[in-house]
Amino acid sequence: MKKSKIRVNFNNMMKHRLGSYGISEMDIKNLSSKINLAIKNLKQKREDGKLGFMYLPYDTKTNEDIKKVSSIVKDRFENLLVLGIGGSALGTIALHKALKHPFYNLLPKEKRKTPKLFVIDNVDPEVANGIFDVIDIKKTLVNVITKSGETAETVAFMKIIWDKLIKQVGKNKLRDHIVITTDKTKGALRKIVNENGFISFTVPENVGGRFSVLSPVGLFPLACVDVDIDELLKGAEYMDSFVTINNVWKNPAFMSALLHYIADKKFGAKITVMMPYSNALKDISDWFAQLWAESLGKKYSNDGKIVNEGLTPVKALGATDQHSQVQLYNEGPYDKVITFIRVENFKKDEVMPHNFKEEETFSYLSGYSMADLLNIEQRATEVALTKNKRMNMTITLPEISEFTLGQLIYMLEVETAFMGELYNINAFDQPGVEAGKIATYALMGRKGYKEKLKDFNLGKEIKRYII
Amino acid sequence: MKKSKIRVNFNNMMKHRLGSYGISEMDIKNLSSKINLAIKNLKQKREDGKLGFMYLPYDTKTNEDIKKVSSIVKDRFENLLVLGIGGSALGTIALHKALKHPFYNLLPKEKRKTPKLFVIDNVDPEVANGIFDVIDIKKTLVNVITKSGETAETVAFMKIIWDKLIKQVGKNKLRDHIVITTDKTKGALRKIVNENGFISFTVPENVGGRFSVLSPVGLFPLACVDVDIDELLKGAEYMDSFVTINNVWKNPAFMSALLHYIADKKFGAKITVMMPYSNALKDISDWFAQLWAESLGKKYSNDGKIVNEGLTPVKALGATDQHSQVQLYNEGPYDKVITFIRVENFKKDEVMPHNFKEEETFSYLSGYSMADLLNIEQRATEVALTKNKRMNMTITLPEISEFTLGQLIYMLEVETAFMGELYNINAFDQPGVEAGKIATYALMGRKGYKEKLKDFNLGKEIKRYII
């Protein structure tokens, strides 16, 4: 049986389409030694066990554990409340939106079948308060996800929920309502798991938050809403057979990274737009934005030079953003690479009826389906951009399924890791968020941080600079 | 009584905070003649009736009509379905999210009081199909919004709804379920209004889609869900008294435009991040992204030179994106201006209880509210960015209300218009989307467009550029 492979088409990045605004095969050839070094380094990192995310597709044991727990809890609860932020939330949100009904939480129980899903990924006061108007906490399972076990935003909401659970279900029933996903041994949350006998899952030590969607971080909540997690992993495994090919011309992750790298270094294109033509795939851009921004936005190179590298991810949605961003993409600065995601076959569709026969401005649409129109608009936008010499590429999904999304997620992760090698930066740390964390602690007067307050004094505030 | 005025604080854009990475007062002084010309031109445009959006706060007659209709229909329907795209959708989505409950559609009827709101702003096949799983069309009011009366995406969905309505409520009841918002005289939709006696509203001719949220485009659906549209307009009117001041040092819209202009021209900062610290304000960034991208992304200057101007809007959300984008903002290229939106007083809040007393990594949060934490995080992020010499500014809303949002919307609209003058481009057209529209028609074989197909041939597709 032929498998549904996703495809990357980069004709519209190249010279034969864009002339002097495009990339030539010579540009790629000129980078051979850099490419070979990047391939070698990445391979070495994998062999050294540093790229934990590349082991996830093969972790069948964890997968079985997840399915065991999720199969029990999913029928017992009306709501699943995920507490997590950044990498602990974005993958779950993206895949849930991609794979489930577009109005999932509004569906009646008999159509929905599995619990309503709420992912709380902010310390928003109105959300923290409002959530209790729409969920009965006695019928809610809470999945607390933080790798470090001490992420402020996640802990903040957990403290509130904890209190309410104890009041409403009692302290001895607490553990029926809580599943914790955190580090295997470190952090306060693991201690609490051990002390209370909570059900828990592990975020592998060598898997960073933004690469963790195919670990229990994403897989447990997704399994609870009947996403086929076996197929997700099979998709990732299938993609693994392509992204380990050493020839960049056969490796979609390497080639895609390389094209973005050249677009930046040769043309100064520092903005990466991801523009799926499908509402279901909208939040994949959000997940990708974190992956790309946190991995590649770095001050120092691996050899300690100040480089201030980074491509800025921009989220767009077709066809909607044709009426918003596309004017800029067609006519603004030549500072972007636009990646379309296109779906060949949609699960559901609606055909436009043959009404308004007298009105040509309406009737030309008759007989086309929504999917037809959407894909024609994608094609039209791609063509217009290419005619305007704007670099763009298209990832095609044969359909939206666990198998194709597993491929997509995994390909983009490997692409990001490879980008790190090309830029000669560490794609796996995030030193640039530390200062903000410390400033938060200092401003809150947390023990041991008060004396840091002086480091965060910005000096005098000029009154006429406030209007 | 002191009115709740929103404030723009741009200390962190300036030299005293950022040194050579900041803007000096001399930079502003040096632009005096450009500024004076921009002010003069904008004033002239307003006097010539070209800036229709500046009249909207004073259109009390239309406002009364909207309230009359909305007060009747809002009790009669379970759902309000808005069909529109771009400027016909984004403002409504943003203000609804800002001013209503964070889980509005999930609220039980007695708490919600007004109809569920669905804004369909894409031709997505799964949404078009899935919407009928969650609404009963017999209990639904449909507001079709397109200024031209022929926007493909909006018409596409309208054709489907039309057919279903006729089947389910009958042709003679059709007009009870449809309200149309379109041009006063032009376009196919106006013809249909006239022929069928539908209730309708007018998009003023001199108000472009992206400037139309305070026209019936936004006000009618918002009034149907009990947003106080009088207060929205009062907020805009109040802001009008500031954004018409000729002294840029007293005019928040002019000053903000000017700072972005200098950031671009002096420092090459072509990316504008809007980062509200509030889930409710999340979609204001989306609305703003359209306003900014379509208005300022232009190939030609007013005197016909090729300039390829444009600032790329990026949407972020605090504190969530501290775990996603902020690494890049702190360490990546110096190519951004970050605008925070901060809320002083939230309507609802939750305080973190004094639990986990033994666990310092949790207990330092106790006693703070979610709003405290959120605002401290905003401050910490702002401080970290400023310490890293990253240009940022903060818009403070005393609270989230119709009055403050009316101010914000109007200020940003005037800022955009003033930007157009500084860049010497036309902020009110969108020629760069025409080619895509024509390509769509050609690919669909629409009458009169078939022969255009040859213009959109990209030439041969190279097979090895597809992996």
* Domain-embedded: residue A464: no
State yes or no: pLDDT of A69 exceeds 60.
Answer: yes
| B192 and B294 share one domain | no
Q: Across residues A218-223, what is the average pLDDT?
A: 98
Query: Does B127 sit within 8 Å of A156, measured CB to CB?
Result: no
Digit-coded pLDDT (tens) for A158-180: 999 999 999 999 999 999 999 99
In this prediction, residue A1 carries a pLDDT of 47
Residues B24 and B169 grouped into a single domain: no
All residues of chain B having their beta carbon less than 8 Å from the beta carbon of residue A325 are 289-290, 293-294, 313
Cα separation, B57 vs B231, whole angstroms: 10
Task: Report how far residue A130's alpha carbon sits from residue A109's, in angstroms, rounded to the nearest whole number.
Answer: 21
pLDDT above 90: residue A389 = yes
A382 plus A275 within the same structural domain: yes
State the average pLDDT over residues A122-143: 97
- Using CA coordinates, name the residue in chain B closest to A327: B432
Is it the case that residue A276 has pLDDT exceeding 90? Answer: yes
Cα–Cα distance for residue pair B434/A327, rounded to 1 Å: 9
pLDDT of B1 reads 47
Q: Are residues B282 and B364 in the same domain?
A: yes
CA-nearest of B311, B253, B316, B256 to B283 is: B316
- Considering its fold, how many domains does chain A have in total? 3
Across the interface, do A320 and B122 touch by the CB < 8 Å criterion? yes
Are A335 and A270 spatial neighbours (Cβ–Cβ below 8 Å)? yes
Dump pLDDT digits (tens) for A281-323.
999 999 999 999 999 999 999 999 999 999 999 999 999 999 9
Q: Check residue A452 and give its pLDDT.
A: 87
pLDDT of residue B451: 86
What is the chain B residue with the closest CA to A7?
A: B467
Q: Are B361 and A126 an interchain contact pair (Cβ–Cβ within 8 Å)?
A: no
- Whether A45 is covered by a domain: the verdict is no
**What is the crossing angle of helices A229-243 and A216-224, to 10°?**
140
Q: Which domain holds residue A58?
A: 52-227
**CB-based contacts of A112: which residues, under 8 Å, 6+ apart?**
A101, A104, A105
Residue A466 in domain: no
B1 lies in a domain?
no
Show residues of chain A in contact with B186, CB under 8 Å. none
Q: Which two tokens stand for residue A10?
A: 């980069």
Mean pLDDT of A385-395: 97
A59 to chain B nearest CA, in Å? Answer: 26
Mean pLDDT across A78-89: 97
Check residue A381 and give its pLDDT. Answer: 96
List b or e across B222-237, with b for residues whose CB sees 16 or more CB atoms inside 10 angstroms: bbbbbbebbbbbbbbe
If asked whether residues A167 and A208 sit together in one domain, one would say yes
User: Which residues of B are annotated as catalytic?
Assistant: 294, 323, 437
List the structure tokens of A361. Answer: 């401005």
> Does residue B81 sit within a domain?
yes
Are both A316 and A349 inside the same structural domain? Answer: yes
Whether residues B248 and B203 share a domain: the answer is no
What rounded mean pLDDT belongs to chain A? 96
User: If you average pLDDT over residues A116-141, what whole number do you get?
Assistant: 97
Q: Which amino acid is at B178?
A: I
Query: What pLDDT was estimated at residue B158?
Result: 97
Q: Assess whether B113 and B217 both reside in one domain.
A: yes
| Domain presence at residue A12 | yes
In whole angstroms, what is the distance from residue A36 CA to residue B100 CA? 55
Q: Which residues of chain B have pLDDT under 50?
A: 1
Q: What mean pLDDT is predicted for residues A37-61?
A: 96
Contact criterion met (CB < 8 Å) for B297 and A364: no
CB atoms within 10 A of CB A240: 18
Burial B139-157 (b: 16+ CB within 10 A, else e): ebbbbbbbbbbbbbbbbbb
In order of B181, B330, B385, the CA distances from B390 in angstroms are: 43, 7, 5
Distance, in angstroms, between A68 CA and closest chain B CA? 30
Asked if A112 and A244 sit in the same domain, the reply is no
Model pLDDT, residue B454:
86
Interface residue of A123, A150, A452 to substitute, partner B, most B CBs within 10 Å: A123
- Does any domain span residue A199? yes
Q: What is the mean pLDDT of residues A106-125?
A: 97
- Any idea what the CATH number is for the domain that residue B106 is in? 3.40.50.10490
On whether both B215 and B238 belong to a single domain, the answer is no
Residues A170 and A254 in one domain: no
Number of residue pairs across A and B with CB atoms under 8 Å?
492
Q: Do B270 and A324 touch (CB under 8 A)?
A: no
pLDDT at residue B2, as a whole number: 60
The CA–CA distances, whole Å, from A123 to B50, B281, B317, B370 equal 43, 14, 11, 6
Whether residue B317 and residue A379 make contact (CB cut-off 8 A), yes or no, is no
Domain ends where: B167, B198, B227?
B227
Averaged pLDDT, A404-426:
98
Together in a domain, B68 and B26: no
Shortest CA gap A371–chain B (Å):
5
**Active-site residue (options: A323, A348, A357, A463):** A323
Considering A199, A227, A255, which residue would you say is the last residue of a domain? Answer: A227
Give me the pLDDT at residue A2, please: 61
Let me know if residue A47 belongs to a domain.
Answer: no
pLDDT tens digits for range A436-461: 889 999 999 898 998 888 888 899 99
**Domain end position, chosen among B204, B227, B250:** B227
Residues in chain B with CB shorter than 8 Å from the CB of A387 are 435, 456, 458
